[in-house]
Amino acid sequence: MTQATTLLRPLDRAGSGSAGQHGLNAVLGAAAWMRLPEAVRERFAASTMPVTYAGAFEIVRASRLGQLFAWLGALVGGPVTRHAGTNVEARVKVRPVGRGVDWLREYRWADHRPEFVRSTKVVTDENRLVEMLAAGLCMPLHTYEEDGVLHFVSQGYYFDLFGLKVWLPGFLTPGSTHVEHIDLGHGWFRFTMSVTHPWFGEMYFQTGRFCAAEDGE
């Protein structure tokens, strides 16, 4: 793999664009929300403007069973990358949509075509966060703050079929997904995701550093 490059210019947030709704302040509660670093509160504020984060995943790995799940997942839109590597240049595009906020991860592989993984974070009327993936696959999230770090932990998976929730049995899922958003200061943050099966252990792991970049880069 070639070493990834990063873009260090901060985003000018005064630009135009329609705002979407994360609403994590309501999901977390006022006390937990205020314990987050200011930069994290800005990234997950109730009103979110379009922004692109540039950086690199130092590690993207998957077990053999995880890779099998990833290739099968391609049949429903690819909710997880099918490849693995180190120092993978990446972009994360955040865009408001009518029902929530889209997060589009672009993996710029040195030896494969660019790969995209999209999800939409939506806050329900009950102030619960749900991550909506491809083909109607949904992942309700337990969202909490601990020592200034923002955590998202999956609470199962279901397909939303015209408003009907069809829950997947555990053996048909890759396991529990745990995402950490860690502020590093100076505009940088670390995204770390691990997916662990109760029987087979780690299925996926990836971690990388990102900083706001000029939109569209």
Maximal CA-CA distance, the chain = 48
| Residue with the two structure tokens 């999800």 | 119
Whether 61 shows a pLDDT value over 90: the answer reads: yes
What's the pTM? 0.87
Whether 17 shows a pLDDT value over 50: the answer reads: no
Whether 1 shows a pLDDT value over 50: the answer reads: no
147-152 average pLDDT score: 98
Distance CA 90, CA 210 (A): 9
Q: Is 159 helix (H, G, I), strand (E, B) or coil?
A: strand
Q: Which of 193, 111, 113 is nearest to 150 (CA)?
A: 193
23-44 average pLDDT score: 94
Whether 204 shows a pLDDT value over 70: the answer reads: yes
Whether 6 shows a pLDDT value over 80: the answer reads: no
**Phi (first) and psi of residue 61, to 5 degrees:** -135, 160
Whether 148 shows a pLDDT value over 50: the answer reads: yes
Q: Between 77 and 132, whose confidence is greater?
A: 132
- Assess contact for 193 and 178: CB atoms under 8 A: yes
Q: Which of 90, 138, 97, 133 is nearest to 115 (CA)?
A: 90
25-47 average pLDDT score: 93
67-95 average pLDDT score: 89
CATH fold group of domain 20-213: Lipocalin (2.40.128)
20-49 average pLDDT score: 88
56-69 average pLDDT score: 95
Q: What does the domain layout of the chain look like in residue ranges?
A: 20-213
**pLDDT (tens digit, 9 = 90+) per residue, 132-141?**
988 889 999 9
21-30 average pLDDT score: 85
pLDDT of residue 214: 65
